[in-house]
Amino acid sequence: MFWFLPAAYLGYFFYQPLLAIFNLLISPEWGFNLAALNLNRLWVPLRFTFAQASLSTLLTLILGLPGAWLFTQFRFPGKKTLKILTTLPFILPTVVVAAGFNALLGPRGWLNLGLISLLNLERPPIQFLNTFGAILVAHVFYNTTIIIRVVSNAWAQQNIRLHHAAKVLGANPWRTFWEVTLPLLRPSILAGALLVFLFNFTSFGVVLMLGGPRFRTLEVEIYVQALHLLNLPLAGILSILQLTCTLLITTGHNQLTSQKTLVITPRSQEMGVRKPRKGLERLVVILLIISLFALLVAPLASLALRSFVKLEPIRGERGEFQSGLTLQFYRELWVDRRGGLFYVPPIAAAQNSFIFAAVTILITVTLGLLVAYGLWQRSPINKVLDPLMMLPLGASAITLGLGFIIVFTRPPFSTFRFPILVPIAHSLVALPFVVRTISPSLHNIPPSLRNAARVLGASPLRVWREIDLPMLTPAILVSIIFAMTISLGEFGASTFLTRPEYPTMPVAIFRYISQPGALNYGQALAMSTILMFVCACGIFVIDRIHLPGKDIL
């Protein structure tokens, strides 16, 4: 019963567009000959997609695992603030991230301007944008928090008695780690690594905006073939190829997260957490904090600072700029100096984003509750429906947008004044996160409370209203914030589905970045800072709400 509405919703809005992409390939009206297809057009982006995703995942593990060790084992000033700041990149749209790295490492970024002034250079010494390194660094920036959150949560729940027993038996700290801690962490590390690989594999905005035209993943190639070259059959083949890969990755991730491991007793969050000792340990902790701040915080801080600074070239000085604090970029957001036909003031773009977010919240929380109760009943059908419900987590936003264009360009959707397809696409992206947030809290409600209410004569509706709902309220609040931040930051599907007169904030930021001129760039930074502040408030509230069960990420 609980599965009916969610299954119908996903069947109509998710699986129908995917089947439409497949039908596109065999449709005679396109005259597409699969036998004449040059396999290099598939192999080249597929090979690059796997290569960049694998290398990005490896680099993320190199930084994320020490970061998990840092947050699990040590207490230091600013720990909570740093953990919130390291979580923020995960929910930011790619246009904001691109603007942040441009503000820090771009041709007129803070680091290049400082080196030009210090060394009296004529050209920026650091060439970061449009390089393969920019893609890798941005992926590490995005996904390090996944490893930190997933692994540190599992690490914090390990039974401290197992470590004490190993020490009593004569094991030194290194042997205790390799023979006790690491085997218990291995499923979480593998699950986190697969999730990071999945996000890297379906990366779009990072490759498009930071990598440049030389680098094309499957996602970017789908975008180019569908929107720029209007080659929908080839875009459909690439979409099916990508979806097949993501389905395999998602299935592997679900298998890992559902495995039964050694039962462990959760310990107090403060037990075993200590200040770093003097010497090498303190040095390592300081270096880790500096590394996390430099990679995950510095680009965002550079973006916010750059939005308040106006740079003007100094006459007679090549490469020299003078700076001054200004609010011009924020004021100019409300001025249409060019008289553009599709100009939308930022307050309107923000209003569009929040309206889309409100509809997304309504859809995802309703469906998320139904799916959570369906999983709670432990029916045999759950083994089939659960992975199918989680598949949107690994589906490409570009593939989703392409499928929507193929299926929903006819009435009634083509006649709606309100672009309802935008929040529907956002809800498909947010639904897996909402389910994974509500489901653990539902499973942690003691059955004895429901049984006692029934014995006292409460109806099923009253049991839900007075027992389940109060205990699920924190999880529902987190789900609302998650759905809101995901909707506010979604960029891939929105580029396909938004109308010129109804842009979201990420789409509006991309418009400013795509246009030449310092004023447009400054306006993009200003709007990015506003969006970043809203997302930071959301993640701050999420971090303040304690939920039973697994970490949200």
* Residue 185 pLDDT > 90: no
pLDDT, position 54: 93
Which pairs count as long-range contacts for 282-291, CB under 8 Å and 24+ apart, including other chains? 285/70, 285/74, 285/76, 288/66, 288/67, 288/70, 289/70, 289/76, 289/82, 291/63
Where does the pLDDT of residue 263 fall: very low under 50, low under 70, confident under 90, or very high at 90 and above? very low
Percentage of the chain exceeding pLDDT 70: 85
Nearest to residue 397, comparing CAs of 504, 505, 249, 242? 242
Q: Choose from 102-106, 177-181, 384-388, 398-402 the range with maximum mean pLDDT.
A: 102-106
Angle formed by the axes of helices 182-201 and 232-258, to 10°?
A: 170
Higher per-residue pLDDT: 268 or 116: 116
Distances (CA, A) of 286 to 169, 187, 275: 32, 28, 12
At 323, is the secondary structure helix, strand, or coil? strand
- Name residues whose C-beta falls within 8 Å of residue 411's C-beta, 6 or more positions apart in sequence: none
CA distance 359 to 352: 11
pLDDT, position 30: 57
pLDDT, position 362: 94
Contact 40, 236 (CB under 8 A): no
Distances (CA, A) of 371 to 147, 482, 503: 26, 17, 31
Flag the least confident range among 41-45, 126-130, 289-293, 339-343.
Answer: 339-343
* Residue 320 pLDDT > 70: no
pLDDT, position 253: 65
* Residue 56 pLDDT > 90: yes
* Topology of the domain comprising 48-311: MetI-like fold (1.10.3720)
Tell me the two tokens of residue 390. 């989680």
CA distance 71 to 471: 28
Quick one: DSSP state of residue 391?
Answer: G
pLDDT, position 59: 94
* Residue 417 pLDDT > 50: yes
Give the pairing type, strands 321-325 and 309-313: antiparallel
- Name residues whose C-beta falls within 8 Å of residue 23's C-beta, 6 or more positions apart in sequence: none
CA distance 507 to 152: 35
Where does the pLDDT of residue 414 fall: very low under 50, low under 70, confident under 90, or very high at 90 and above? low
* Residue 60 pLDDT > 90: yes
Residues of the chain by 3-state class (helix, strand, coil), percent to 5: 70, 0, 25
First to last CA, the chain: 28
Q: Report, in angstroms and rounded to the nearest whole number, the Rg of the chain calculated over CA atoms.
A: 25
CA distance 383 to 550: 20
pTM of structure = 0.77
CA distance 336 to 332: 8
Where does the pLDDT of residue 73 fall: very low under 50, low under 70, confident under 90, or very high at 90 and above? confident
Q: Choose from 47-56, 200-209, 349-358, 393-402 the range with maximum mean pLDDT.
A: 47-56
Higher per-residue pLDDT: 84 or 398: 84
* Residue 5 pLDDT > 80: yes
Contact 6, 367 (CB under 8 A): yes
Quick one: DSSP state of residue 272?
Answer: T
pLDDT, position 261: 44
Tell me the two tokens of residue 281. 């340990």
CA distance 504 to 194: 30
pLDDT per position as a tens digit, 478-498? 788 778 878 887 877 777 777
Q: Phi and psi of 124, rounded to 5°?
A: -60, 125
CATH superfamily of 1-30+341-440+471-553: MetI-like (1.10.3720.10)
pLDDT, position 367: 92
Nearest to residue 434, comparing CAs of 378, 487, 513? 487
* Residue 447 pLDDT > 80: yes
65: burial class by Cβ within 10 Å (0-12, 13-18, 19+)? Answer: buried
pLDDT, position 257: 60
Nearest to residue 146, comparing CAs of 433, 505, 535, 372? 433
Flag the least confident range among 85-89, 236-240, 516-520.
Answer: 516-520
pLDDT, position 270: 42
CA distance 80 to 123: 40
Domain residue limits, the chain = 1-30+341-440+471-553, 48-311
Where does the pLDDT of residue 213 fall: very low under 50, low under 70, confident under 90, or very high at 90 and above? confident
Nearest to residue 506, comparing CAs of 318, 329, 346, 293? 346
Angle formed by the axes of helices 382-390 and 421-443, to 10°?
A: 130
pLDDT, position 33: 60
Contact 407, 236 (CB under 8 A): no
Provide the 10 A C-beta neighbour count for residue 233.
19
pLDDT per position as a tens digit, 95-152? 788 888 888 888 878 888 888 888 887 788 888 888 899 999 999 988 888 888 888 8
Mean pLDDT estimate for the chain: 78
At 209, is the secondary structure helix, strand, or coil? helix
Strand partners, 147: none
Where does the pLDDT of residue 363 fall: very low under 50, low under 70, confident under 90, or very high at 90 and above? very high
CA distance 188 to 512: 40
Domains 1-30+341-440+471-553 and 48-311 share a fold: yes
Q: What is the mean pLDDT of residues 322-329?
A: 72
Tell me the two tokens of residue 140. 């590490």
31: burial class by Cβ within 10 Å (0-12, 13-18, 19+)? Answer: exposed
* Residue 431 pLDDT > 50: yes
Distances (CA, A) of 103 to 135, 314, 469, 525, 542: 16, 20, 45, 8, 28
Tell me the two tokens of residue 279. 């010497």
pLDDT, position 542: 66
- Name residues whose C-beta falls within 8 Å of residue 252's C-beta, 6 or more positions apart in sequence: 194
At 108, is the secondary structure helix, strand, or coil? coil
pLDDT, position 114: 83
